[in-house]
Structure 1
Amino acid sequence: MLYLYFVLLIGSLFLLAAGIVEQRRHYAALHSIPSRVLVNGIRGKSSITRLCAGALRGGDLVTVAKTTGTAARFIHPDATEEPVYRKFGIANVVEQIGIVRRAATYRPDALVIECMAVMPALQEVNQSKLIRSTIGVLCNVREDHLAEMGPTLDDVARSLCRSMPENGICVTAEKERFHILQEEADARNCQLIYADPETVTDEELRGFSWFTFKENVAIALVVADLLGVEREVALQGMYDAPPDPGVLSVERYVTHEGKRLAFANVFAANDPESTLMNINQLLDLGAIRRPLNVVINCRPDRVERNGQMGEIIPDLQPDNVFVIGHPSKSAIDAIPAQWRERAVDLGGEKRSAEEFMPALLDRMSDGSSLVAIGNIHGQGEELLEYLAELPADESDDGRTAPGPAAVPAPAQAPRLDPYASYPTAHEERYQASRTQEIPVLRVPAQPTGPYQQQQYAQQQYAQQQYAPQQYEQQQYDQRYEQPQYRQQYEQQEYEQQQYAPQQYEQPAPHPPARQPWPPHDDPHDDPYGGTTRPPARRPR
């Protein structure tokens, strides 16, 4: 018996020594990479990872990236990529160690890696032990993984903040819960930077050959700016970056009966808000048109998500709702009663595409659109394989071609604001247009760095509140610098000098001295509630 204890002790010591050696090797590999960017959030992590990597490559930085989304990919510095091998097909955060070791062999300037942890504790381990990022990205907070990080969206926000780098920088495009992110960033001595989507123009967005959002591009531009890459160079690098396999896409097919079909793959956006945002963007760009048909793919391990997809059917206003997968009842029961008669149950845990696709296509009219939402796994993959075998629709009947550069289609029927919360959003469905918005203070001249815009907006707000005359004088000077206003002001001064010389020569009263910023000991005295969140927020 003593011999067995001795063997156990020796084995434990050996494992301990091996663990220490592996940890030291891992930290040495991390320290050989100067800039490490960890992308976390609920939706769009893979796209942001590719955009950041492309922007840095455009600035001639040797960049390695790794995504985890629809298909895990290791992206080499020359933008070529290969699948990430996983033993038994099971994802594990420990694989990040091998990714870092492999990336370090390139001696890169930057590593952009997607967070693959869902549990809050694992997210913290992923940051503090595996990646030790210098720049963190927290793209958004959405209704997903509530069982692991919830139950409320505030809890999800605080869970995601565990990936923030201590004494580092974090970039986010989240507005609704920016104050929560700021509190968590202050606790970690982390500088939180807001990436304003409005800084991305529609013309810049049209440069992409695939669908993306301004929030994602704004985050990538801020990351590139932090690492010294100019905006134009970063944009060109993002244009050249290959898209993620699960990126929003639209394909056009011709069925065996000769019907034309526009198919939008929205499986990657598998939460209500992202799904609505993607479909609304496709409708606005004219990539898909009505009559609109929706197919919901259900999974037995995502019953709650199946119900969420059914709840948003009234906001999509489709002609038909096809439900595939198992259990289909979880999605059909969540559809409101007045829309349930449009639902067609094609579900079945082991039904092949050859069984349910003919019935699905038969109920669709010629020239209609089909949108796939929910989860891609299971019957969703079979649906995509079936459609891929159909001939492509190459006819030109005057329809707007899909793509970001398409001319916007006529305005659609009022839709639900995708940023609204659930289930309150269903009760206030058409109230967004009647909600008074908070005015946004926009000054023509602003600092060039995106991370300086928040502090500059606060200073402008304080000057407007406590030194209005000085603020008006500053606005006058800024407008005078513009050619379209300069001639008008000079004409007014000339007339005043000619017809009222005494009044013109009288010196103008000196504006009062600027009042100091009020004390912030009490957060209620601070117009921003003690945070640096942007002054404009979307109404709830």
Structure 2
Amino acid sequence: MLFLYLVFLLACLGLLAGGIIEQRNHHRSLHRIPQRVLVNGIRGKSSITRLTAGALRGGRLVVVAKTTGTAARFIFPDASEEPVYRKFGIANVVEQIGIVRRAAAYYPDALVIECMAVMPPLQELNQTKLIQSTIGILCNVREDHLAEMGPTLDDVARSLSRSMPVGGICVTAESDRLHILQAEADKRSCKLIPVDPESVTDDEMAGFTWTTFKENVAIALKVAELLGVSRQAALTGMWTAPPDPGVLSVEEYRRGDTSLRFANIFAANDPESTFMNIKQLQEQGSIPRPLHVLINCRPDRVERNGQMGALVSRIDPDRVILIGEPTRSARVKIEEKWQDRVVDLGGRIGAGELLDGVLGSIDGFASVLAIGNIHGQGEILLAQLGRLDRSVSQDPPARAVPPAPPAHAVPAGPPVRAVPPGPPARSVPAGPPARPVGGATVGRNGVPAGPGPASGGSRRQATTYGDPPVPAAPPAAWPGTPTPRPRPYDGPERPGVPAPGRPDRYAALAPEQLDRYAALAPEQLDRYHAGSPGQPDLFGPAEQEPPTRRGRPVGGPPERAPVEPDPHRGRIRRSPADGTAPTHPDPDPQSSHRRPSVYRSSS
């Protein structure tokens, strides 16, 4: 029994030591990231994460981001991305440790990461232990996950506030429950900064090629301002940021005589966000009537299914299509007025049968609004729609094409310093003719006169100083440049292989000289044979130093004398060139384990 107790105690100590080591390594990774932005809220977290990362990239900051929404993505500093691998496909907040370690390898200026915790204790753990954000984002408070954070919206606001950074900054676009968020921020000595969505103009929103909201853009602009990024640079970075896979989109498909305009609103899980998306699409004219509402039901989101069913009365569709299971949870919440318009395709039916059922409910043309949740039958339907012909581009047909951003808003690198005008051409003193440097022609004032084939040109052209264009001609040598002597031979010549018709000029070399120059490359031998100034004579005396280039020997390191190991002490002792044993005395002659005869000369 005592043995088992000791084994249990040692196992606990080992786990404790491993946990301490992992925590220290995680804190070391966190400290390599100066700014950490944690995005939390009910709806729009993935879009805000991408917008914030794009805004900071527009300010020339090195930014790494990670989203968790429809499809978890790790976003690299160059805006490329890849899916986040999850063992067994199960999401766990512990994966944030690996994300932080991977992000720290890029030594970024900022990390923008989406909060993936739902339970209030896990949200606080995600902030205090895993991320330790310096800037928090609490985008909104909506009716979702009420079983975990509710049951009221006030409780949801307090639960989300547990991710606020203690002693840091929190940015929010929530207005209805701002007083609750302010009270929670005061408890944590956190500075709460509300943003006004109306501060974002319509012209700034027109720069986006994908659908987003002013609330999200206003939050990203405020975070960029806090980190020293200008508004125009932040907008430019957001315009070019890649959208989230679950972003609001409208596409048109056709099969035979049936066509539909499909609006993917699966990412907006709560009813308020869903209705906001539908209202925005209606204002843009992207979803004309007849209007069909498709609700995807999930067995683990029964409450949400009912919320989407109750939303039908606010949308006023011409037909309601129910897929997934259990569809009854949504149908019982639909008012009696629309009960005769319901098409129930519930259950786990085949992909082909599901697509036929959806298209069969359409008479020629209809706009289909897909709401609820994407997982389950929703993913199967999207995969089947992707195989149909697309009659228009992926952008909504009725949506006005946004104007391109102004030319001055596009970041084109650091500004070029204005070069003051030089003296007129007639006042330039005469100098040596132009010479090519690095593929470009250099004028009399030493400034490139035109682009060269290698460099592609230069911002500072010689015409800025008044130099006349110089024709590309073979240049003359500069004054004082030594003229190389003509080669005394032509054709290949290596040690031991004389040129035809010539005596072997290597015959008079000493053996060590011959070995020294035998390792030289042909172009190195050419330089020595040419006898250019400053080069040693190839046929100099045997004690001449080996040729060097910039202080380093040419032809590899010098040869070393053979070595032999000392079998008694393990040290390496060098032998004379004649192969005899060393003659130096034993450094420790009193040692009892060494025989003196080993250090005597063999002679």
Scaled by the length of structure 2, the TM-score of the pair is 0.66
Q: How many residues align?
A: 402
Q: What aligned pairs does 1:128-527 form with structure 2 within 5 A after superposition?
A: 128-255=128-255, 257-348=256-347, 350-394=348-392, 400-402=397-399, 405=402
Q: Distance in 2 between the 1:284 and 1:355 partners?
A: 34
Give the secondary-structure state (helix, strand or coil) at the position aligned to 2:56: helix
**Quick one: structure 1 residues 28 and 403, their matched pair in 2 at CA, closer, same or farther if it must change by over 3 Å?**
farther
Q: Distance in 2 between the 1:104 and 1:356 partners?
A: 45
Q: Which has the higher helix share?
A: 1
Contact 2:251 2:392 in 1 (8 A): no
Give the secondary-structure state (helix, strand or coil) at the position aligned to 2:402: coil
Contact 1:287 1:403 in 2 (8 A): no
Q: Distance in 1 between the 2:286 and 2:376 partners?
A: 26
Q: What aligned pairs does 1:83-102 form with structure 2 within 5 A after superposition?
A: 83-102=83-102
- The Cα offsets for residues 274-313 of structure 1, whole Å up to 9 and x where unpaired, read as 0000011111011111111011111111111101000010
Residue 344 of structure 1: how far off its partner (Å): 1.1
Name the residue aligned to 1:488.
none
Which amino acid in the other structure matches residue 371 of structure 2?
I
Say which is worse superposed, 63-72 or 2-11, in terms of deviation. 2-11
- The Cα offsets for residues 55-83 of structure 1, whole Å up to 9 and x where unpaired, read as 00110000000000011000000111111
Q: Distance in 2 between the 1:224 and 1:91 partners?
A: 29
**Quick one: structure 1 residues 38 and 386, their matched pair in 2 at CA, closer, same or farther if it must change by over 3 Å?**
same
User: Deviation above 3 Å: which 4+ runs of structure 1?
Assistant: 399-406
Which amino acid in the other structure matches residue 308 of structure 1?
Q
Name the residue aligned to 2:66.
66
Contact 2:354 2:381 in 1 (8 A): no
Give the secondary-structure state (helix, strand or coil) at the position aligned to 2:233: helix
Residue 259 of structure 1: how far off its partner (Å): 2.1
Give the secondary-structure state (helix, strand or coil) at the position aligned to 1:383: helix
Q: Distance in 2 between the 1:270 and 1:386 partners?
A: 22
Residue 358 of structure 1: how far off its partner (Å): 1.6
Say which is worse superposed, 364-373 or 226-235, in terms of deviation. 364-373
Alignment RMSD, CA only? 1.5
Structure scoring higher RCO (CA < 8 A, sep ≥ 6) equals: 1
**Quick one: structure 1 residues 107 and 368, their matched pair in 2 at CA, closer, same or farther if it must change by over 3 Å?**
same
Residue 113 of structure 1: how far off its partner (Å): 0.2
Give the secondary-structure state (helix, strand or coil) at the position aligned to 1:243: coil
Residue 330 of structure 1: how far off its partner (Å): 0.8
Residue 179 of structure 1: how far off its partner (Å): 0.4
Unaligned 5+ residue runs, structure 1? 407-540
Q: Distance in 1 between the 2:400 and 2:329 partners?
A: 34
Q: Distance in 1 between the 2:189 and 2:52 partners?
A: 24
Which amino acid in the other structure matches residue 205 of structure 2?
L
Q: Distance in 2 between the 1:237 and 1:265 partners?
A: 25
Q: Distance in 2 between the 1:405 and 1:276 partners?
A: 24
Name the residue aligned to 1:499.
none
Contact 1:133 1:165 in 2 (8 A): yes
Residue 400 of structure 1: how far off its partner (Å): 4.5
Give the secondary-structure state (helix, strand or coil) at the position aligned to 1:192: strand
Q: Distance in 1 between the 2:152 and 2:191 partners?
A: 25
Name the residue aligned to 1:57.
57
Contact 1:250 1:402 in 2 (8 A): no
Contact 1:45 1:139 in 2 (8 A): yes
Scaled by the length of structure 1, the TM-score of the pair is 0.73
Contact 1:211 1:403 in 2 (8 A): no
Contact 1:210 1:403 in 2 (8 A): no
Contact 1:48 1:219 in 2 (8 A): yes
Contact 2:271 2:307 in 1 (8 A): yes
Which amino acid in the other structure matches residue 211 of structure 1?
T
- The Cα offsets for residues 479-523 of structure 1, whole Å up to 9 and x where unpaired, read as xxxxxxxxxxxxxxxxxxxxxxxxxxxxxxxxxxxxxxxxxxxxx
Give the secondary-structure state (helix, strand or coil) at the position aligned to 1:341: helix
Q: Distance in 1 between the 2:2 and 2:400 partners?
A: 73
- The Cα offsets for residues 113-153 of structure 1, whole Å up to 9 and x where unpaired, read as 00000000000000000000000000000000000000000
Which amino acid in the other structure matches residue 328 of structure 2?
K
Give the secondary-structure state (helix, strand or coil) at the position aligned to 1:290: coil
**Quick one: structure 1 residues 115 and 160, their matched pair in 2 at CA, closer, same or farther if it must change by over 3 Å?**
same
Residue 366 of structure 1: how far off its partner (Å): 2.7
Say which is worse superposed, 52-61 or 10-19, in terms of deviation. 10-19
Q: Distance in 1 between the 2:80 and 2:398 partners?
A: 28
- The Cα offsets for residues 177-202 of structure 1, whole Å up to 9 and x where unpaired, read as 00000000011110000111000011
Name the residue aligned to 1:442.
none
Contact 2:254 2:391 in 1 (8 A): yes
Which amino acid in the other structure matches residue 64 of structure 2?
V
Residue 270 of structure 1: how far off its partner (Å): 1.1
Q: Distance in 2 between the 1:403 and 1:30 partners?
A: 44
Residue 244 of structure 1: how far off its partner (Å): 0.4
Contact 2:327 2:344 in 1 (8 A): yes
Name the residue aligned to 1:469.
none
